[in-house]
Structure formats: structure tokens, C-alpha cells
């Protein structure tokens, strides 16, 4: 037992066992969801069809109020909350056993549905079965769990003790269901690709490294499923998607968790314009499904996710917020703006002279743009047509040698998704991979993925691809400020070492 256990509850546990009562029985009860009961119970003035009928409920008791001959306690299950009324005259031999009950106990209750004199919907108990004795007391009854760090650590308590928390995760589940149904209706096939990768590719991020004992080799936890999914386009599956857990060995912030959920999809014969249409339709449907409207309130502002979303070109926005053009790039002005914004990046020093400088100067330009943005990406908005140097997997725009067909979608200044017309020229892809490796960027792959290049050599049709951060989308749809509030178990340090590692602007 831990320090959470209360001695009074341990004494009741012993009393139960001494009386021959199992405080942790192997069998539960067949129960009706509280939500269904409330839907059919009606009011005291206008009783519904379930009023006066017998029902069995199961869940957790909270806030017992004992008046001697009468006791009340709310019961919560995954669908809702209903008051239980315990009457001495109706419970006979069981009545003394109520003293062994505590708030937090799991019980099954069978009784008659009705209302109190004040009109409160109530199940009047006739049979009570203890299903699990809680030896740790619940949080203080009026305020739930107010310590946010404790809430994240003890989500198993937070889900029933804090108002609205369970609803967030019910909505999260609905978002995923809506997205899956939408894509399946579009002819997409859900697939699964490896979590362990021999090369950390498909995104720019520091990977987690592990070791395969039987193969005697290092492997990387997936930072993105992209290259495997595009192999399937080569294989002729034509429309595929995956809802994957990705892992990036980076810092924590209100927008970042090292383990997160990503939707990625790829469609043959499509391009980034088609991906914009899919993004708009998907966001709109998800909003309507969980909120009944396309309007959301997030971080103190209102947004409308109805299509079409605004479009802004990357180069136009860069010039607007920095005061100088993106192309040709003026390195002196770029370095000055980086220092003005306090960017502590190695690219600021020796940006022209070091090995791999070309890739790093464009990465610095991207960091400067992010630092200069104020409300230009409140959105929903597509930021389109990114430079080739920071888009190694995207196809160039026809007639341009420095811009790609790529966009990122933003709401409230937060990136929710990334998409492009896929590069399918194997020679050009190999060259871009080699440039990534030569840049020595710690977030770039350390070697060329020649197997992927070989896949392209067999011919990949024109295709569009899209990645959406599910956690961030759920944040927007449920009005949660931090990614931790939409993850059941966010990453945290052990309690004695608790502190956040900030995410740098490069990350």
C-alpha cells in the first residue's frame, strides 16, 4: 500500500472481510448507462417512460450524505451522473453495511427510478453490491483536482473528479471516428506501417534510438510514417491513411509532447490543391460532429472552420513581416533580423561559411518568419508554396526552381497540418536526401534512404499527401490550451525531477 491509503478505509476493508463480504468480487453487474436512464426518466412534473421502472446502474459513488434513515450519493459512470437514494425501510438487512461505504467506492445498485420531492432524478436503491472498495479517498468534493500537475499524473482520478475532463476525451474519440469514416467514404484504405525504422526519415526531428538484440542493429522510433505510406502508393494501393503514434526526442511545451498522434494520408492522381479540399472538409466535419457547429472558441478567440480557408503565400508573408524579400535571400538582413528577434541558433553564426550552409540559411529564414509572425496566421489559413530547401519531399512548382507545392494549415497561429504534392522523381529525391545528409543538421536523417529511392524508381504516380496533428486539432475543437489536456497520459518527469524543458524556436 502507498501513502494515499486512509486508515479508516483499511479498517472498513477488514470489517467487510470479517463479515464474509468480498470487497473485490470477480463478477460485476449488467448495468444500463446513466445517459440512457436520464433520457427516459423525464421530470417530476412530466415523468418519462422509465419513471417507476426497475434498473441497475454501476459506477463510482461520490459525496455520501447520511441522514440516519436516508442517505444520498451521486453515482457516475462513463456516460453521466445520477443520484442514488438509500432508504432504511427499503434496504432491511443491508442498511448497517452502509457504514462500510465511502466516496469513491465502485458499486452496482438495483432499484426503482423516480424523483425526489425537489424533483431530482434518483434511483431508489433496493439492492446494493460493492464492486471495488476504494482505500484512497477522492479529491475534496467541491473543487475536484485543482493541481494540474497532479491531474496529469493521476488521470485515473481526474477523469471522474474534474468537471468536463471526460467529455474532452469522448470528443477526441469522436474526432478520430469521424475522420476514419470520412476517409473510408472517399475510398481510402487504413493501413499500418512499422514503428521501428532503420532510418529516421519522413520529417525533420531528433529520433528516439533503440537496439534490436536479435538483429544486432540500432533502430529509431518512428518520427513519421510518410516514406512507408508512399511505398504503398508505388505498390498500387492508391489511397491510404494511417493514424500513427509518432515519437520525437524533443522538448515539452503547450504544443509539443514527445509522443503524439498523427494522421497521414496519400492519394494517387492528387496534388496539394486536393489536399486543401480534404483538409477543409475534414476539419468542418469534425467540428460539426463534436460541437454541432463549425464555430470554436480557442485561447480566448472565436474561429469558424467552415470552408473555404484563406490562402497566403509563404514568400508574401515573409516580405510582409520582415520587410525584405525571401528570394533572393539577403544573408546580412536575415542575420540581423534573427539577432533582433533573439534567436539563439547556430545558423546565425557563420551562416555562409560552414558546410551545409545553404540548407541552414533557409532553415534560419523559416525560424525568422515564425518569430516575426503576430496575428497573420490566426486562420483558419493555408500558408502555401514553401521553399524547396525546407521541403525535401515536396515537388517543385512547375516553372520554379526554388518553390514547392506545399502548404501548412494554421488555426490560432498554431500549425495543425502539413501537405504537399509528392516528389516522385527518384533522381531528384536522391539528390535532396544527399543534401540533407550533407547539411549535418541534427534533425535531418543521417543517411540516404536508398530503399525509398528504389521504390520511386519503379514509378510513383502523381500524388498528394497530408499530415494532421490529431492532438492539436482536438485542442482547437475542445478549447484546451495545452496539448497535455488532450492526452490521457502526457509525458512527465518523475515527481522529484519535475520541470519543463522548453522547446526552442528551431523545434
Domain ranges of the chain: 7-138, 165-309+460-497
Superfamily of 165-309+460-497 according to CATH: Bira Bifunctional Protein; Domain 2 (3.30.930.10)
Task: Work out the mean pLDDT of the chain and round it to a whole number.
Answer: 93
Inform me whether the pLDDT recorded for 114 exceeds 70: yes
Report pLDDT for 276: 98
Per-residue confidence at 507, pLDDT binned at 50, 70, 90? very low
Separation in Å, CA 375 to CA 61, 334, 370, 378, 469: 47, 21, 11, 5, 21
Check: CB of residue 476 under 8 Å from CB of residue 294: no
What is the share, in percent, of the chain residues with pLDDT greater than 70? Answer: 94
| Predicted confidence (pLDDT) at residue 504 exceeds the cutoff of 50 | no
> What pLDDT does residue 360 have?
80
Question: What is the pLDDT at residue 496?
Answer: 66
CA 453 to chain centre: 32
HEC string for 376-388: CCCCCEEEECCEH
Reading the block at residue 14, the C-alpha cell is 477488514
Instruction: Indicate whether 441 pLDDT > 50.
Output: yes
The percentage of the chain sitting over the pLDDT mark of 90, rounded to a whole number, equals: 88
pLDDT at residue 352 above 60?
A: no
User: What number of residues does the chain have?
Assistant: 507
Report pLDDT for 361: 86
CA 326 to chain CA mean position, Å = 34
How far apart are the C-alpha atoms of 102 and 99, rounded to whole Å? 8
pLDDT at 349 over 50: no
CATH superfamily of 7-138: Nucleic acid-binding proteins (2.40.50.140)
Closest CA to 448 of 424, 426, 464: 426
Residue 98 and residue 66 in contact, taking contact as beta carbons nearer than 8 Å: yes
CA 119 to each of CA 43, 114, 307: distance values in angstroms, whole numbers, following the listed order: 7, 9, 45
* Max avg pLDDT among 143-147, 249-253, 471-475: 471-475
By CB neighbour count within 10 A (0-12 exposed, 13-18 middle, 19+ buried), where does 233 fall? Answer: buried
Give mean pLDDT, residues 175-204.
97
Structural contact between residues 114 and 91, judged by C-beta atoms closer than 8 angstroms: no
Average pLDDT over residues 428-452: 93
Q: Give the per-residue pLDDT at 495.
A: 78
Amino acid at each position: 500500500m502507498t501513502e494515499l491509503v486512509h486508515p479508516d478505509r483499511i479498517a472498513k476493508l477488514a470489517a467487510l472481510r470479517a463479515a464474509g463480504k468480498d470487497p473485490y468480487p470477480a463478477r460485476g453487474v449488467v448495468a444500463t448507462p446513466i445517459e440512457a436512464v436520464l433520457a427516459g426518466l423525464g421530470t417530476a412534473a412530466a415523468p418519462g417512460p422509465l419513471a417507476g421502472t426497475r434498473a441497475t446502474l454501476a459506477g463510482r459513488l461520490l459525496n455520501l450524505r447520511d441522514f440516519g434513515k436516508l442517505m444520498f450519493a451521486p453515482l457516475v459512470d462513463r456516460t453521466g451522473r445520477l443520484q442514488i437514494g438509500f432508504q432504511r425501510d427499503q434496504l432491511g438487512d443491508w442498511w448497517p453495511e452502509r457504514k462500510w461505504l465511502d466516496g469513491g467506492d465502485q458499486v452496482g445498485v438495483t432499484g426503482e427510478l423516480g424523483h425526489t420531492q425537489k424533483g431530482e432524478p434518483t434511483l431508489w436503491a433496493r439492492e446494493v453490491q460493492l464492486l471495488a472498495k476504494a482505500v484512497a479517498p477522492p479529491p475534496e468534493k467541491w473543487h475536484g483536482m485543482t493541481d494540474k500537475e497532479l491531474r496529469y499524473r493521476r488521470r485515473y482520478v481526474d477523469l471522474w473528479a474534474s468537471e468536463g475532463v471526460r467529455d474532452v476525451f469522448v470528443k477526441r474519440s469522436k474526432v478520430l471516428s469521424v475522420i476514419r469514416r470520412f476517409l473510408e467514404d472517399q475510398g481510402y484504405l487504413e493501413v499500418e506501417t512499422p514503428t521501428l525504422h532503420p532510418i529516421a526519415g519522413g520529417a525533420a526531428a531528433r529520433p528516439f534510438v533503440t537496439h534490436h538484440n536479435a538483429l544486432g542493429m540500432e533502430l529509431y522510433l518512428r518520427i513519421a510514417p510518410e516514406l512507408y505510406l508512399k511505398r504503398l502508393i508505388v505498390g498500387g494501393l492508391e489511397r491510404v491513411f494511417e493514424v500513427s503514434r509518432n515519437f520525437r526526442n524533443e522538448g515539452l511545451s503547450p504544443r509539443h509532447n514527445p509522443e503524439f498522434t498523427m494522421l497521414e494520408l496519400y492519394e494517387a492522381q492528387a496534388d496539394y490543391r486536393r489536399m486543401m479540399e480534404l483538409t477543409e472538409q475534414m476539419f468542418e466535419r469534425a467540428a460539426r460532429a463534436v460541437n454541432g457547429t463549425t464555430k470554436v472558441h480557442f485561447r480566448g478567440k472565436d474561429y469558424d472552420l467552415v470552408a473555404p480557408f484563406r490562402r497566403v503565400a509563404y514568400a508574401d508573408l515573409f516580405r510582409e513581416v520582415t520587410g525584405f524579400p525571401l528570394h533572393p535571400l539577403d544573408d546580412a538582413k536575415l542575420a540581423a533580423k534573427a539577432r533582433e528577434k533573439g534567436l539563439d541558433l547556430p545558423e546565425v553564426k557563420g551562416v555562409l561559411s560552414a558546410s551545409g550552409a545553404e540548407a541552414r540559411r533557409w532553415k534560419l529564414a523559416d525560424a525568422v518568419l515564425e518569430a516575426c509572425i503576430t496575428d497573420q496566421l490566426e486562420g483558419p489559413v493555408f500558408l502555401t508554396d514553401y521553399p524547396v530547401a525546407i521541403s525535401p519531399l515536396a515537388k517543385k512548382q512547375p516553372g520554379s526552381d526554388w518553390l514547392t507545392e506545399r502548404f501548412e494549415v494554421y488555426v490560432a497561429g498554431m500549425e495543425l497540418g502539413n501537405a504537399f504534392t509528392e516528389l516522385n522523381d527518384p533522381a531528384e529525391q536522391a539528390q535532396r536526401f544527399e543534401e540533407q545528409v550533407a547539411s549535418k543538421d541534427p534533425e535531418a536523417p543521417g543517411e540516404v534512404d536508398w530503399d525509398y529511392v528504389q521504390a520511386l524508381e519503379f514509378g510513383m504516380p502523381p500524388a498528394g499527401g497530408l499530415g494532421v496533428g490529431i492532438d492539436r486539432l482536438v485542442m482547437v475543437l475542445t478549447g484546451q490550451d495545452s496539448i497535455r489536456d488532450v492526452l490521457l497520459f502526457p509525458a512527465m518527469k518523475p515527481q522529484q525531477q519535475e520541470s519543463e524543458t522548453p522547446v526552442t524556436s528551431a523545434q
